[in-house]
Structure 1
Amino acid sequence: MPMGRLLITGASGYLGQRVAYFAQQTTIWNKIYSQSWRNPALAGEHVACDLANQAQLQALLDRIQPNAIIHTAAVTPAMGAAMTNEALWAVNVQATATLAAWAAQHEARFVHVSSDAVWGGRDTAYTESDVPAPIHPYGASKAAGEALVEALNPAAAIARTSLLYGQNPLDPNTTMALAMVRGERDGALFTDEMRCPVFVEDVAQALLELAQQPRLYGIFHLVGPQILSRFELGQALLAWNGIDSTGLPAGNTSASGLRRPSRVVVDNRATQSQLSTILRSIDDVTRR
């Protein structure tokens, strides 16, 4: 039986596009609303809304009355100079709080997408119960968003992700590695910055599964089971796309002088035991 109206925020973003696409492939939802601040071609009915405008966001929620919300929208480092402290606060914190509170008040399912950037790195893996300890503004904004969701909507699901990759369209990590190996972009991929990259389609499917399962609440780790450095990830993604990675520049965080999370290994075993969606390793995905 169809479950009602689904709102996907950030539907023009890399993850949001795939969530909207897969939502459209099912008969689970009576209506799918794809939110973005502009009007691109999106799956579902597009609803324009500036999430930094809290009055506009509240009006949108009251108008469409969603039964479930998957909140993928965020201000991220990929936005460059547009990632100001004001933008981080308005979207990653205030808009998240507005969505979480509205969903709680209207008994709507709320699934919030967070990030492994809530941590600064350590030798041992992070589990769902580890307390966030961010070391930069983006991570701090995501940690604040998580805390507000937990306080305002205890029945919500908070899904932490890591580096996303995919082919349709190419993900930002592949695009960056490709530009570097072609000499079109300066910089290097770090060999000492470890992550658990995850296939964007697996994350999209897992988010839709969480949206359909109100019994699942709290923290979930939607990450891959394989640990790779950013450099190793770049090599793997180029190989997957049939591109020679010779000449891909390598570096390390200590030499860069940048303050960045180093080894952020996220354990997904507890999450995987509760989901039917398989969060695959990059080796499994690229061999298919």
Structure 2
Amino acid sequence: MKVFVTGANGFVGSYVVARLLANGHEVFASSRTGDLSAFNANKNYRFIQVDFSDPFSLHDAFEFVQPDVVVHSGAMSKPDDCELKQPDAFDTNVFGTVQLLLNAEAYKSFFIYLSTDFIFDGEKGMYKEEDKPAPVSYYGKTKMDAEEAVMEYQHGWAIARTSFVYGKPLYGRSSFITMIAEKIKTRQPFNVVNDQLRTPTYVTDLANGIAAIVEGRKEGVFNIAGKDVLTPFEMAQRVAAYLGISDHLISPVTKDEFKELAQRPLKGGLDIRKAIAELQYQPVNFDEGLRETLG
């Protein structure tokens, strides 16, 4: 199966590429930046440098690949950056998704979109697939708007929503867990929010869930997240315990004390029962994911 993956240099995208290659698919990885991967020796791997918000560049890429499946994991994903640079966030997250859908339509490609629990307001928590979005940040709004575009696609689509992805980066920027581990080990003072709930998702589990959607052509919305409900500070505490460091300088704060530019949902997190039943999705618990990340 020919699979076109956006955001292939990103944290999640790189794991999706690795999983699909391991499962024997022909993977066309794409990113705005040059190839960072270690997959070039794999005969099923091709890299295409393309900006998916550029219609002309994207048209040429699709004409070359003619994909059976598109996995759209590329995004402007830092909520504060999206709040500060709203036109850029719209171009990347909404306009770029629409351009991908238009090109996928020409080849009747199955389309998978990676989304987030940030489309919800955080009043309820543990959101199900059918719960109504009500984002509290511009980032969440762009992801909701893109979801709505995907839901109008006529040739088979799936939306994989996730929450607080962590793991060992293959390349690029650190994840929260690897960043906080470094601050704990070097005794750097750092404040971590303790009044926001998430279902932290081990990145390998997320990639496996996306691969299951690809291979089963499973349509609809799926929550692909972790099984534990934790605050970021509780995650940091688990990191410190794993490292055996008690004299760290990590301190709990409220969201009001932390003063982030973009509002975050207080009670996030996703109910994963549908994915367990329909995708045979089996995520590790947080402590096991932590061992895999830092071991």
Shift of 1:219: 0.7
Counterpart of 1:235 (choices 227, 234, 237) is 237
> How far apart, CA to CA, are the structure 2 residues paired with 1:102 and 1:87?
21
Tell me the TM-score normalized by structure 1.
0.88
Task: Please state how far the C-alpha of 1:58 moved relative to its aligned partner.
Answer: 2.1
- Deviation for aligned residue 1:38: 1.4
Task: Pick from 263, 277, 280 the counterpart of residue 273 of structure 1.
Answer: 277
**Letter matched to residue 132 of structure 2:** V
Contact 2:12 2:207 (8 Å CA) reproduced: yes
Contact 1:198 1:224 in 2 (8 A): yes
In structure 2, the residue corresponding to 1:86 is in which secondary structure?
helix
% identity of equivalent residues? 24
Deviation of the 1:188 alpha carbon: 1.6
Alignment of 1:1-288 (within 5 A): 3=1, 5-27=2-24, 29=25, 31-42=26-37, 43=39, 44-77=45-78, 80=81, 84-153=85-154, 155-169=156-170, 171-181=174-184, 182=186, 188-214=191-217, 216-240=218-242, 242=243, 244=245, 246-258=248-260, 259-286=263-290
Q: Shift in Å at residue 278 of structure 1?
A: 1.1
Distance 2:240 2:29 in 1: 31
Segments ≥4 residues shifted beyond 6 Å = none
Distance apart, 1:124 and its partner CA: 4.3
Q: CA deviation at 1:235?
A: 2.3
What secondary structure, in the 3-state scheme, does the structure 1 residue paired with 2:160 have? strand
Gaps of 5+ in 2: 40-44
Please report the TM-score for the alignment, with normalisation by the length of structure 2: 0.86
Q: Which moved more, 1:155-164 or 1:104-113?
A: 104-113
Count of residue pairs the alignment pairs up? 280
Q: Distance in 1 between matches of 2:54 and 2:281?
A: 34
* Aligned-partner residue type, residue 123 of structure 1: K
Describe the SS at the equivalent of 1:50.
coil
SS of 2:256's partner is helix
CA distance in 2, matches of 1:81, 1:112: 19
Taking the aligned partners of 1:276 and 1:103, their CA distance within structure 2 comes to 27
Residue 179 of structure 1: CA displacement? 4.8
Indicate if the aligned counterparts of 2:190 and 2:249 stay in contact, CA closer than 8 A: no
Aligned partner letter, 2:111: F
Task: For residue 79 of structure 1, report the CA deviation from its aligned partner.
Answer: 8.2
**For residues 50 and 83 of structure 2, what CA distance do their matches in structure 1 show?**
18
Q: Report the AA paired with residue 122 of structure 1.
A: E
Residues of 2 paired with 1:196 and 1:69: CA distance?
A: 26
Distance 1:85 1:249, change over 3 A: same
Equivalent-residue separation in structure 2 for 1:231 and 1:243 (angstroms): 16
Q: CA deviation at 1:118?
A: 0.5
Cα drift, residue 129 of structure 1 = 0.1
Once the two structures are superposed, residues 78-116 of structure 1 have per-residue CA deviations (whole angstroms, 9 ceiling, x without a partner) of 784896212211111111112223323422111110011
Bigger Cα displacement from structure 2, 32-41 vs 163-172: 163-172
In structure 1, the residue matched to 2:42 is: none
